[in-house]
Each structure stands twice: as C-alpha cells, then as structure tokens.
Structure 1
C-alpha cells in the first residue's frame, strides 16, 4: 500500500509537468522516486535520484532532508548531518528534518545536541507524529541520567499515541532505572501487546519480571542501555513467567545478541 501511494503521488506530479517551472517538476519526480527507494531500503538508488534532484533545485528542504536519510542509510553520517542541517536551515519548521537530525545525534550518542532538535520538531503543532519525537527526546534525557524528564517525555508520547509500542518499552526502561518493577513490567507487557514482534520488549519483560529489591546503582542507566539486568536480586518464584518471555525472544530472533542472551537466561532458569 505504501508503494502504491508513492506511485499515485508520482503520477499526480507528472500530470502537473506543464507548469511554469519544468526544472522543479523534474526535481520533484526524482525526489518522489528517491523517497520511494528509501521506503524500500534501497539507499543507493535513492541517492542516485536525489543527487539528480538537488542538481536541478539546490535549495529545496525536502530534497536535502531525503538526501540526509539516504546518506545515513549508506553509513555516511557526516554527509547525512550536512544535508539534514541544510534542510532545517532552509525550512526551520520542517519538523521531520529536526526529528531525524536529532535521531542522527542519538545514533552518535550526542545526547545534549539531540534535545533541541526534538523540541523544535515538537514546537510545530502540525507535526503529525509527535509521539516519535517525544520518544526520541525521552531517550536523550534518559542517557543523560535525567530519568524524570525521560519519563515525562514517554508519557507525553503515549498520550499522543496510546498504541506507540516504543514509548511503552522505553517507559518500562525508565521505571526499571528507579526500581519501580511492577510499573516496568506493566509497560513492557503493553509494548508487546501493541507490537507482538517487539524483541527488545519481550527480553526486558523477562528480565524485569524476576526483579525485586533496589535497582543496580549508580550504573542503572548504563546497564539498561546495554540490556543488562537492572536488579540486584531476583524473585525465583516468577521464573516460569520470565521463561515464557525469553522463549518468545528466542523464537523471534534466535541468532541475535538478545536471542543468545535469552537462551542463556533460560538455561539458568531450568
């Protein structure tokens, strides 16, 4: 359905090619093709189309935004940052570009630099997916050790979209950092209810079900980021429930790091 929508947009654009600026119309066609390739995960073909588009129209914010994503997909973060910055310079209200520039900073652990980008995205009341920027904002705060601010951001994300599984998962992580085990378990359960294939949420659910007592401190944030157990003591009476979560991880992603860790956890619980 996504590809059909892209095709429909492309055909609609082609139908307008008799306008006063044929060069811009050509650039728009290449932009739409590039975006379609990005949606398919083909960043090489996307780059080819988008580089043609930017030659035709050098100062279009949407073209620079798409170029940033394409370069990011090719593991070229310097070029990605350059084009995402250009996009927000050309259109300071382009919320998706602010969010993606912030996400690039998150990928590079540039937590402090990421925060204002998400705030700028959220300042645009027309931004259609504020839950994404709120969740990203929460992750930046969490990694700076500002767990209360992270919790608030995740709660705002859930308010914007109650079925946004990533916000529920990350809220569970924040609760885990504070030793609020029942709240954490509830958040992870909600995450997997809305996205049954969410490997990380199943894994963290298995870890957290067993937790009792105080969280590991002062390294709780770092341990949670690394998906290590957040608790100092476990409640072995809940082993069966935890094992079910770990088995689901193994079923969904047996060859992943979490899949192997879940298998180790299952061996200990037997």
Structure 2
C-alpha cells in the first residue's frame, strides 16, 4: 500500500513539473509573439521617422524579449534617430553579441561610429564587413570606408574605396558624390566635374549635387555654368535650409563676377 502511494506521489509530482514546464513554454511563446508585434510596430515608426513612438513600442518589447538581437538592432536605430549615439552603439553591440554574424547590426554599428565621427572605429567595422563574402551589398561598406577616409583627409584611400564601390554599382549616387568631393579636395578639378556631371544626370533632383557641381565649375573658373547650377540648387533645396542660404550667397557673388 505504501509503495503504491509513493508511486502515485511520484506520478503526481511529475505531472505538476510537466504542467509547469508546458505553462512556461506557452508563456515564452506568447511573450515572443507579443514582442515581435511590438517590434514590427516600432520598426514601422522608424521608417516614418517617428523615433519617440518607435522607442515607446520597442521598450515594451524589450521587457518581454531582452535577448532578441533584431530588437536590439531596432532599438539602436531608434536611438540613433534621436541622436543618442552612445545608447545606440550599446544596443548595436548587444545585438552583435547575441548574433555575431548579424551583418545589419554590424553595418548599423559602423554607421553610428560615422555619425559620432569616430572614423577609426568606423573603418575597423566597415573593413571587416567589406571582406565578408556573404554580405549582399558590399558597395555600402566600401562607400562608407571612402567617407571615413575622406573625413580623415586620407584622400588616396578615400578615392580607392569609392572607386571599388562604383566598380560594383556604377550608378551608386552616394559613392559618386563622395568620389567627386574627394577629387575636388585633391585638386583634380576635371575629374571632379566629370564625376558630378555624371551624378546629376543620374539624380537630377538631388540639390546637393548641383551645389557640388557649381563648386567644381567655380574651381575651374567656369562661372556661367556655376551660376546655372546654383540656380538649380536654389530651385530644388528647401527654402530655409542651410544649403539654400549658402547657394543664395554664392549666387550673389557669381552675379558680381558675371557683371549682372
């Protein structure tokens, strides 16, 4: 009789443990589904540029699944959108710690270092990413390397990286603009003009490119063409933007040059 009671007790306790485990698994699954929905909503807000609303949803998700690398990356992007680069970097690092092969988070970390003007750390990140043969869009890290080297005034390496990006994507406008600015900084005026002229053909409504081309024309003393590009810049740029204000001032100086 006693043996039978012991057996029944064991079965009872085993069933309790099993039920408890099943309950925890069900709760974990429910938390994951709820967190995923919150993350998706947060990412939608990021796409809209509403970073405060995004963080509100993402912080809720973090209470449910703090070790989700995709959530950590999204939180980093939201904080980056609010210019809280230190917090953004910590979230990107956590995402990579949780998923070391997470290329999007590695790219985000590099972008955060660029925004923080920590050129050396950005170069380290993007060099690693550009060598990853599994990374589907290597022209992005190559172009980002060009930007970092440009800001370090190492123009030969900036030129090299921008050209490598354009070898993969010949119409990649960010790399074209970066290459043109690099040529301008090197005093390679003709190459700068040719590069910017190609760029404005690809992206004719990109106001900054017309401003860049105007500066290349000014450097070559072609003030008439420079004036035309400045007028185009003023036409395309938001009226109260710094770009528009700068273009207006340059336009006035060019009018004096041209005797208007």
Q: Shorter-chain TM-score: what band?
A: 0.7 to 0.9
Equivalent residue number for residue 4 of structure 2: none
User: Which is helix-richer, 1 or 2?
Assistant: 2
TM-score (norm 1): 0.79
Equivalent residue number for residue 121 of structure 2: 113
For 2:169 and 2:154, how far apart are their aligned partners in 1?
A: 23
For 1:44 and 1:25, how far apart are their aligned partners in 2?
A: 22
Equivalent residue number for residue 122 of structure 1: 130
Q: 1:123 to 1:59 in 2, by over 3 A?
A: farther
Equivalent residue number for residue 168 of structure 1: 176
1:80, distance to aligned residue in structure 2 (A)? 0.9
Deviations 1:136-191 (A, max 9, x none): 11111111121111111111221222221111000001111211111111111222
**Structure 2 runs not aligned, ≥5 long:** 1-25, 256-260
Deviations 1:101-160 (A, max 9, x none): 112111121111111111232233333332222211111111112111111111122122
Equivalent residue number for residue 188 of structure 1: 196
Equivalent residue number for residue 243 of structure 1: 227
Pairing of 1:31-180 with structure 2 (within 5 A): 31-180=39-188
1:45, distance to aligned residue in structure 2 (A)? 1.5
Question: Which protein has greater RCO, CA pairs closer than 8 Å, 6+ apart?
Answer: 1
Larger radius of gyration: 2
Count of residue pairs brought into register by the alignment:
229
For 2:102 and 2:130, how far apart are their aligned partners in 1?
A: 10
TM-score (norm 2): 0.82
For 1:138 and 1:240, how far apart are their aligned partners in 2?
A: 31
Equivalent residue number for residue 264 of structure 1: 249
Q: Secondary structure at the match of 2:243?
A: helix
Q: CA RMSD in A?
A: 1.9
For 2:52 and 2:109, how far apart are their aligned partners in 1?
A: 20
**Structure 1 runs not aligned, ≥5 long:** 1-17, 213-234
